[in-house]
Structure 1
């Protein structure tokens, strides 16, 4: 997990140079990296934006083995170079701290070192201290165990935001980090990708509201950014008198997306769950990794096969956005990984796939091969959200990035900044709820999250982004 101590924000106007800072936080879906800060020169005139100055505390184990806590990874928190933030609401402005960060930018060729302190938390002191040392003078190590409530509460004293990324979240029976955040009155987000865990977190809504704590669950890339994309598609459709009838989430990641053991373990655990989907308002249960479809993800990815999985955005979108038909599919590459996933889902008992210990042993048996193939497959990620309406309106949102390990960092940081800037009301929310991310703040969140994408479009008909490649066999297109 990651904890952020935030001093305050201050409107900053810079002539020519624009500020970009990159913060490392933890995520099981990302590789390790150092904390980077850079100053870049903008090609145009004055840039205006809010500069959030924060103290960050990153917590997660640094080992390669899944231990119930995530490995270190990258989350890049950047002010977008070309867009000014949406003006905050009056309530949000009231929640902004009174003290302001002071940032001095000289010219455009130097290095910026904002007041960011990163505290690395881990059970392994040797690895934790080694990693903290690489982050620089303003970083330090704190030994912590996320299942130990007293250790968590001690670590959260004086902290403004905790970002919980210690997955996998599947089969986790308690929300210890969220409970500690509520107890210490610390704002909270997580990158949960499990339906049961997300709704368990949501059950603490009234407690968080009473404590005055803003919290968002499933605030990563998918789910997370994909939820906000869906919410914006639905809002745009209804503004033009269209009634949404069907919402579909399609995801593609090459190999493990540079994530390694955590995403592999998560995928295997999901194969042990019935897929919950909705058809014309009725909940239905489907077999995991069934219902194959070929989806065009546009330039850079093209057509890929995707399969049904039990993902939390399906239930939250159905209940919150009010779309009667909702489902989600996922696919990977090379194509034979999909065959392997189908084989596991069909041949292994569900009880086996629901057992974390057995699944971790399974992952270890295939990990060497997966790592070897990952070096060839790359880690490109693409999300496509399709909305069909009763008036014949059909629109999509498309998001493609060449590196999942980088993109998920931008996505999580975008949610963290939104909370720090006062765009989330007290309570535990899903990303598509306007109380979670204010409607007027969604545009900026998507701009921040989509940095570095090779393809990002919203509210377009599918034919404007689809390709028409020829299939040469075995699911390979040219």
Structure 2
């Protein structure tokens, strides 16, 4: 489809990838089923038109358009790319190793709302520093808003609320499990490799502490249909952002996979020299090299994604409030549910946008972590993500 300046509502940067393409699919699905909303005109931003053509054909979306996007091209170029669209969704990972939120800065300059699936806290923290600029420009932005991080942070906010509020919460614990790699593409696999070079941010009694990745094994019960699995410390921006948003003193995050060979593989990967582990090109190359065997194993074990969030009380309140709140959700396919979650955040950001949705706006101007969103926005997003869930205990 030939593009004119007015033909794009949502630009999904990185839409040629697994997460981005899944997000595009869900954006199209969600916008077309709501009678109150105008079907979205979608564009994929990326470097390869050939890859775009393949994705467009696979998604069966002939009206999808392509915008060349080079994230290294500089601010002026990025402003020109995003100008005129109603929302930019940034899914072009991996985010590890990046230091500046250039695309967000371009969106603020162009007056365009923004969300991303960033799983690197230092980068999301730099994005948060632009909140004043976003308020001045009158645009909302939400960072780290996929399935995890993202929906997991909404679960934390919900759990703390059910517990009785931040003042009675002693700690929040995140636990995640995927079968195999969850059907992930090489970018997600390489991001996991990069995380093995990152110290794990934990909070203990209000103090930020750093721990070694893939340590402190714990067996976690993810509920019916998934069962209990070993999980290990892994860096997750949900931890510091939740502490900041919800004022809890203790917070940690763990991840595990199956079969056990993958857990052993990650433990072995951690032993590689750190300068190799932080090399984005090397880890992407290793992920691509590993994909044939990864695909074989994934076909055998499936692509299940399971999340659990525990909020634990300080134990000194006699008001009848619970001592612990546990929330769980399970989806059959990681690739599908991360797109579903990202699209749910995006749709919520479009509420109240002229010509797109008559609903009341729920996300004000500024740069927000998911855990900071108001209850109405949180509930709307969770309702969308609950669809197709195999287990939903929220």
- Please classify the TM superposition score into its range, dividing by the shorter chain length: 0.7 to 0.9
Distance 1:360 1:126, change over 3 A: closer
Q: Distance in 2 between matches of 1:444 and 1:283?
A: 32
Superposed CA deviations along residues 103-142 of structure 1, whole A, max 9, x for unmatched, are: 8xxxxxxxxxx64322232222233245446644432222
**Structure 1 or 2: larger strand share?**
1
Aligned position for 1:55:
9
What's 2:319 paired with?
none
The corresponding residue for 1:251 is: 176
Contact 1:60 1:120 in 2 (8 A): yes
CA distance in 1, matches of 2:6, 2:241: 30
2:363 aligned residue: 424
Q: State yes or no: 1:288 paired with 2:209.
A: no
Correspondences of 1:72-471 after superposition (within 5 Å) = 72-74=21-23, 75-77=25-27, 115-132=39-56, 135-148=60-73, 149-238=75-164, 243-345=168-270, 347-391=271-315, 393-421=323-351, 422-433=361-372, 437-458=373-394
Shift of 1:231: 0.6
> In 1, distance between residues paired with 2:148 and 2:21?
19
8 Å contact kept, 1:61–1:124: no
Larger RCO (CA within 8 A; separation ≥ 6): 2
Deviation at 1:457, TM superposition (A): 0.9
1:57 Cα deviation from its structure 2 partner: 3.1
Q: Distance in 2 between matches of 1:102 and 1:387?
A: 36
Give how far 1:79 is off: 5.5
RMSD over aligned Cα atoms: 2.7
Residue 226 of structure 1, CA deviation: 0.7
Maintained 8 Å contact 1:242/1:393: no
Contact 1:400-1:454 within 8 A present in 2 as well: yes
Counterpart-to-counterpart distance in 2, 1:373 and 1:169: 26
What is the TM-score of this pair, normalised by structure 1? 0.72
Quote how far apart the aligned CAs of 1:61 are.
6.5
Secondary structure in structure 2 of the residue aligned to 1:300 = coil
Task: Give the distance between the partners of 1:138 and 1:362, measured in 2 at CA.
Answer: 35
For residue 255 of structure 1, report the CA deviation from its aligned partner. Answer: 1.4
Output the TM-score relative to the length of structure 2: 0.87
Distance (whole Å) between structure 1 residues aligned to residue 184 and residue 267 of structure 2 = 21
Indicate if the aligned counterparts of 1:407 and 1:449 stay in contact, CA closer than 8 A.
yes
In the superposition, relative to structure 1, how do residues 57 and 364 fare at CA in structure 2: closer, same or farther (>3 Å)?
Answer: closer
Residues in 1 aligned to 2:30 and 2:44: alpha-carbon distance in whole angstroms: 23
Secondary structure of 1:73 counterpart: helix
Q: 1:378 to 1:143 in 2, by over 3 A?
A: same
- Give yes or no for contact 2:12–2:91 (8 Å, CA) kept in 1: no
Task: Point out where structure 2 has 5 or more consecutive residues left out of the alignment.
Answer: 316-321, 352-360
How far, CA to CA, are the matches of 2:304 and 2:204 in structure 1? 31
Q: What CA deviation, in whole Å up to 9, does each residue of 1:300-332 have, x standing for no partner?
A: 110111000111010111122111110000001
Q: CA deviation at 1:364?
A: 3.4
Q: Which runs of 5+ in 1 are unaligned?
A: 8-53, 65-69, 85-100, 104-113, 459-478
Find the counterpart in structure 2 of residue 27 from structure 1. Answer: none
Equivalent pair of 2:149/2:238 in contact (CA under 8 Å): yes
Q: Is the 8 A contact 1:410 1:450 kept in 2?
A: no
* Contact map agreement 1:242 1:389 (CA 8 A) in 2: no
Query: How far does residue 242 in structure 1 lie from its aligned partner after superposition?
Result: 6.7
Count of aligned residue pairs for this structure pair: 371
CA–CA separation in structure 2 for the residues paired with 1:236 and 1:63: 37
Give deviations 1:252-310, integer Å, cap 9, x for gaps: 01112111201110111000011110111122211100011100101111011100011
CA distance in structure 1 between the partners assigned to 2:302 and 2:124 by the alignment: 30
Q: Mark the CA change 1:63 to 1:445 in structure 2 (over 3 Å): closer, same or farther.
A: closer
Q: Pick closer, same or farther for the CA change 1:242–1:198 going to 2, 3 Å.
A: closer
Q: More helix by proportion, 1 or 2? A: 2
Rounded Cα–Cα distance in structure 2 between residues aligned with 1:328 and 1:311:
6
Distance across 2 between alignment mates of 1:115 and 1:227? 28
Q: Distance between the aligned counterparts of 1:285 and 1:271, measured in 2?
A: 13
Q: Quickly say closer, same or farther: Cα 1:410–1:62, change in 2 above 3 A.
A: closer
Q: Deviations over 1:123-174 (max 9, x none)?
A: 2223324544664443222222122233322222211111111100000122
